[in-house]
Amino acid sequence: MPLMRALLPVVMLVAVVGMVAVMVVSGSARNPITFMFPLLMVVSTLGMMAGGAGGTTDVGPARRDYQRHLASVRRAVADAVGMQRASVVHVHPDPRDAWTFAGTRRLWERGPGDDDFGAARIGTGPHQPATPVTPPAVAAPEKLDPVSAVALRHVVRSARTVPDLPVAVDLRAFPVVSVGGDAEPARALVRAIVAQVAASHHPEDVAIAVAGVGPEWEWIKWLPHNARPGQSGKSEKPGPELLRAATVPELADMLDGMEAELVMVIADARDLDRAPEHLDLLLGTQRAEGGTTSVLAVPADPGGETAAAAVASGLALSVIDGRVRAITAAGEEDIAAADALGAAAAEALGRRLAGQFVARSRVDAGPLHDPVLAELGLAPPPGTLRFRERLGPDRLRIPIGVAAGGEVLHLDLKESAEGGVGPHGLCIGATGSGKSELLKSIVLALAATHGPDQLNLVLVDFKGGATFLGVEGLPHVSAVITNLADELILVDRMQDAIRGEMTRRQELLRQSGNFPGVAEYEAARRAGRTDLKPLPALVIVVDEFSELLGHRPEFAELFVAVGRLGRSLHMHLLLASQRLEEGRLRGLDSHLSYRIGLKTFSAAESRSVLGVPDAHHLPATPGAGFLKTDAGAPVRFHSAYVSGPVPEDAGRPASARGQTPGARVVEFVAMGGTAVGDGSSLDDAPETTSPRTPSQSILGATVDAMAGHAHGAHRVWLPPLPARTALADAADSSLAPLTASVGLVDRPLEQRQDPFLVDLSGTGGHAAIVGAPRSGKSTAVRTMVASLALTTPARKLHVHVIDYGAGGLSDLAALPHVASVTHRGDADKLNRVVSAVAGEVAAREERHRRKGWHTIADARAGGEPDVLLVVDGWPALRQEHQALGDRVQGILSDGLAVGVHVALTAHRWTELRPAVRDLMGTRIELRQADAIDSVVDRKAAKLVPDSPGRGLSPDGCGALIADSGPADIAEVAHACLARGDERVPQLKLLPERVGWAAVSGAVAAGSVAVGLDEESLAPVRFDPDRDRHLLVFGAAGSGRTTALRTVVEGMLRTRPTCKFLVVDYRRGLLGAVPEDRLAGYTGSPAVAEPMVAELAAALRGRLPGPDVTPERLRARDWWEGPDIAVVVDDYDLVSGSRGSPLTPLGEFIPHAADIGLHVVLARRTGAATRALHDPVLGAAKDQGATGLVLDGTREDGPILGVALGQRPPGRGTWVEHGRAPRVMQVALPPETATEAGQEKEGDGDAIR
């Protein structure tokens, strides 16, 4: 709702209240009528608010969703149109390309049994889409969103027709085809029709004759279709007799009794107009049973007898201005843009086809004449196989071999209720028995007789995969799964895939109308249910199933499930193996209704398969076997052989094999030319290229013939996840903010692979990435951050990276979202990053309370960005910096509520404490060192490959994290900057040198500015009245003397009455205190002892006696004199083996506040833990003295609870009673005149 609209009622109410107040103040309130106008304003305001509640809503999101839906529909329509166009153009290519068929598998590909036999293209025009778009039922127009309604109409209108697809006519359906209009375009169209028919139909199936036409049709003589069959050698004229005559009666005599399925006659329409009876004479010639004659009359006169006959009983066409029009009794209709073929191109085609003819009767006998292959239509293998739906008894009934009596043996996979012997079977055959060849024959027979819409195949070979080598190109194949013995992980994946297919079929039957089985579903589809997609039968062939069950016994449960449900789901199982071991068929026996036994290793195996020992006594000839069904005794047969090569003579022209019987060598004279020389033997003619290479097998040739099928099988088995996927392939910038696609998830049970999505916007706001060493944890972090950068603008996400691993996250600094990248050796920066994020959590909690943001959604709407802290190597960070680990755990506990996220990596889940692990809503589990460590799925964890990036999704599916290198990160950074992202403010770090002026002016009176706080970058102060004592620890060169000088300088300026007793054995503080402020200065033990003794005596006199009242204690007026600050540098030297001269002061430190004593002491970190038991140090520590821990080594142990580590000079941890330790940088003291020209003795600190 717009802001002004929301505020307007409030403004009006305020105005009413103000008006009433004015009237009361002015005295007008005495008259009641004066209240009528404010009352009317209140009523109108309430009415407006009530009316506004039913106002219009924002339709923008719904409109965008609908537009996205329409865009997906457009893409689906475009894909369907592309597939339809490819299919139709494949069947009816451009006539100008007909010459390319010569010498290829497509030459004469159509046979009398094909649906497109006799069909010829006449041009291109609009078609109805194969997949129509049906608009949904909509409400009344006035209730529709106009933008969406217009977009829907555009989509429906664009999908109404498919333009420029081939338009074909079936010549067998039209005895007369007249082509009129412009004479030359009409002839060009007829040439195109003739060229198509000649290139796609065998000369023995189609004859092309010419009657009484001019020289423009001379080129037809080159076509083998124009030769009169069976006349070679019988004519007195040289060469074969041609089907051409000057008059129609002569041609009719030649055509009478021809056996061709289709006879095309090219005739001059003008001649036919003059003698209409000639048309009847041509159409009355006797044809073989089922044969037809089609007369193409050109150029036709629209008013002539021939055109009239075509209108009445044929097809009348007119070609005008390049368009083909159909002439009917009702008028003319434009149907297509006319095809055209020039005379030169037609003659070139005729000459090219002249040497291609080979009579089918002359194909040499050989493997191609196997009766099984002949029944399948594979003798010889055709150039292109066309599938026809097989129904009733023919469905799933295939020839597999030749029985003992010579008849073809069929295997019917349908169940017994449908007259078959299926649905499931067993095949056993020893090595060399021909088992693999039999399985190939069964697969090929199924594919050759059924289309992919009626039958799909899943082919499984547990061993090497040679059984099904070469069949993966079949369009029927849903999956070819081989070599499982070497990759057992694929076995479980295959089990999920088959179970998923069963589930998919059951769900499809339920959603489509609760069909009890696929048979009922398919019956409904054939009855007119256009919304039902084909659900083909699925034949699962498993070779070496015995070994499969040996490695995975639980797979038997899947086979039993398929056996039980396969009948209704049309899923058929064929199990094959070399041996049949006892117990392997437990539970399966009752589901195997047919059994094939080839030669077995033993009679016992034969008896287990067939019930008789006959299979063991079979000859060693491959392919010999028995088929046993429930109907009777085993039937002996010999299987087909499809792996043999296609004979060299199959499909080659006669000229390539030598002179055929009856052929004569004659002199050839071209039209209008002269003799070129003596006749020569046909053996001297150049060979025409064979459509198939001699080495190609029958199987390979048949697979190639099916390769052009437009629609493939449903993919039951998707390829396994690749070894690597790139960030560019996995990332998706269209996802919602704080959502990242980091890789792929493999879901074989659902037959899909999904993006691996990480969503940090909700309960999954914290992420844990856990995996063994070298499993890809750092890469996963890099990918996640880069993918988040693509989906979330920099103004909405700030990232801090702690790289506590091998430095693999440095490249992330290039992203505009990244505020800092910190490495393992930079302890101070580590502390600064954690402190900054922890401070951000606290600041946000306060800000959310102040602004009334109750949820993180309110904060994001208010423009507050989310913060992501990445810790790569959490266990190491926790071990080396326990305090930082505790602070990160605090961020985990409190951060998610205010939009602060944490992503951690670890080697195993046990390295994350339960309190931390429970907060991780997003868990990415990579390969584990031991599967027992998995918290997702221990069984699935055993199957994770030993490859970087591989792991498990939260639901236990296999996952692959995308790889992301420096180039990928740079590309993402470039994309983010290109869309307008600005770099987030970089994390401010403590400077290595802090001047006195930067801190001295921002402290309270009486306090001493010591340095700069890392978290707030504010001064760190020491309050002598509150803290009393300061202990400084640091190694040589850490800056502890400088810290003392800074504190002394601050106390000199803020406490003008304080006196200083300086113990400085190395003269580092020489000149730090002016003479008038010195109570004493000593650089040796000899002077220190009496000086301290004198001070102790003075302090003892300040101790309150029994006569001091409580009031005087509070006022501290029972003694007079200045406060005394004892400043000691190098206390480790002062408290030597002879004892500390400061020991007498130990008894006064607990009373320091009463007697005006301050101790400021510095010492080395070595043995500092033991030194804390010293009377002076111990007493100061027990009294809650403030501490400053500078640089030191880990071996010296924690001091004041602070772990030691390498730090730059002056960098330390400020430890205050009642507050968390803070990292700070000591400020440099101002130079004084007394310091000038003096050198420091013995300490060697880099900072003074």
Question: pLDDT category, 139, cuts 50, 70, 90?
Answer: low
Tens digits of residue pLDDT in 529-544: 988 999 999 999 999 9
Residue with tokens 């009679």: 603
pLDDT of res. 1121 = 86
Determine the longest span between alpha carbons in the chain, in angstroms.
161
Q: Tell me, what's the pLDDT at 1186?
A: 93
Write out 868-904 in H/E/C secondary structure.
EEEEECHHHHHHHCHHHHHHHHHHHHHHHHHCEEEEE
User: If pLDDT is split at 50, 70 and 90, which confidence band does 339 have?
Assistant: very high
Over the stretch 141-172, which tens digit does the pLDDT of each residue have?
A: 667 778 777 888 888 887 788 899 999 999 98
At position 97, the amino acid (one-letter code) is: D
Least confident of 77-91, 998-1012, 1043-1057, 1140-1154: 998-1012
Q: Which CATH superfamily is domain 97-126+165-355 in?
A: P-loop containing nucleotide triphosphate hydrolases (3.40.50.300)
1030 in Cβ contact with 1149 (< 8 Å): no
Report, as an integer, the average pLDDT of 102-121: 84
Average pLDDT over residues 371-400: 76
Q: Are 1188 and 1030 in contact (CB under 8 A)?
A: yes
- When pLDDT is cut at 50, 70 and 90, the band that residue 204 belongs to is confident
Does the pLDDT of residue 1041 top 90, yes or no?
yes
Token couple for 694: 């001699």
| pLDDT tier, 185 (very low <50, low <70, confident <90, very high otherwise) | very high
Q: Is 45:12 a contact under the CB 8 Å cutoff? A: yes
The CA distance from 1211 to 1213, in Å, is 7
Q: Rounded distance, CA 878 to CA 900, Å?
A: 20
- Between 710 and 274, the more confident residue is 274
As a whole number, mean pLDDT of residues 400-413 equals 88
For tokens 């295959």, what's the residue?
494
CATH class of 409-645: alpha beta
Pick the CATH number of 994-1103+1117-1228 from 3.40.50.1820, 3.40.50.720, 3.30.70.890, 3.40.50.300: 3.40.50.300
Residue 624 has pLDDT above 70, yes or no: yes
SS3 label, residue 570: coil
Tell me the angle at which helices 555-569 and 489-511 cross, rounded to the nearest 10 degrees: 30
Mean model confidence pLDDT for the chain:
84
182: its two tokens: 């412009």
For residues 413 and 1132, what is the distance between their CA atoms, to the nearest angstrom? 96
pLDDT of res. 318: 93
Which long-range contacts link 403-408 to residues 24+ away (Cβ below 8 Å)?
403/635, 403/636, 403/637, 404/635, 404/636, 404/637, 406/371, 408/371, 408/372, 408/375
Residues at the binding site for ATP are 429-436, 771-778, 1034-1041
Percent of the chain with pLDDT over 70: 86
Please tell me the predicted confidence (pLDDT) of residue 657: 35
The first and second tokens of residue 647, run together, are 């004979």
Q: Which single residue is written with the structure tokens 């025009």?
A: 125
DSSP-based three-state secondary structure for 19: helix
User: Which residues does 594 contact at the CB level (< 8 Å), separation at least 6?
Assistant: 411, 421, 422, 424, 425, 426, 627, 628, 629, 630
Q: Which residue has the tokens 């289309």?
A: 451
- Return binding residues: 429-436, 771-778, 1034-1041
Topology match between the domains 97-126+165-355 and 409-645: yes
Active site residue 544: yes
User: What is the model's pLDDT at position 1137?
Assistant: 63
Residue 403 · residue 635 · CB < 8 Å: yes
> Hey, how many other C-beta atoms are within 10 angstroms of the C-beta on 692?
23
| Model pLDDT for residues 730-759, shown as the tens digit of each residue | 999 999 999 999 999 999 999 899 999 999
Q: Indicate the residue type of 1133.
A: L
For residue 1183, what pLDDT band results from cuts at 50, 70 and 90? confident
Number of H helices, E strands in the chain: 36, 40
Structural contact between residues 898 and 859, judged by C-beta atoms closer than 8 angstroms: yes
CATH number assigned to the domain with residue range 727-979, chosen from the 4 options 3.10.20.740, 3.30.2020.30, 3.40.50.10610, 3.40.50.300: 3.40.50.300
Least trusted range by pLDDT, from 661-670, 880-889, 933-942, 1143-1152: 661-670
Sequence spans of domains, the chain: 97-126+165-355, 409-645, 727-979, 994-1103+1117-1228
Task: Give the per-residue pLDDT at 585.
Answer: 77
Read off the pLDDT band of 312 (50, 70, 90).
Answer: confident
Q: What is the mean pLDDT of residues 400-417?
A: 88
pLDDT at 365: 32
Catalytic hit among 109, 544, 1014, 1015: 544
Residue 654 reports pLDDT greater than 70: no
CA distances from 896 to 106, 345, 839, 922 (A): 67, 76, 14, 13
Alpha-helical (H) ranges within 316-386 are 343-354, 371-376
Based on the number of CB atoms within 10 Å of its own CB, is 330 exposed (0-12), middle (13-18) or buried (19 or more)?
exposed
Helix/strand/coil for 245: strand
Span 328-349, mean pLDDT? Answer: 91
Structure-model confidence comparison of residues 21 and 600, the more confident one:
600
With a CB cutoff of 8 Å and minimum separation 6, the contacts of 514 are none
Query: CA–CA separation, 252 vs 57, rounded Å?
Result: 80
Parallel, antiparallel or unpaired: strands 1124-1129 and 866-872: unpaired
Lowest-pLDDT range of 354-363, 499-508, 1037-1046, 1203-1212: 354-363
Q: Which residue did the predictor score with more confidence, 845 or 1110?
A: 845
DSSP string, 194-208: HHHHHHHB-TTTEEE
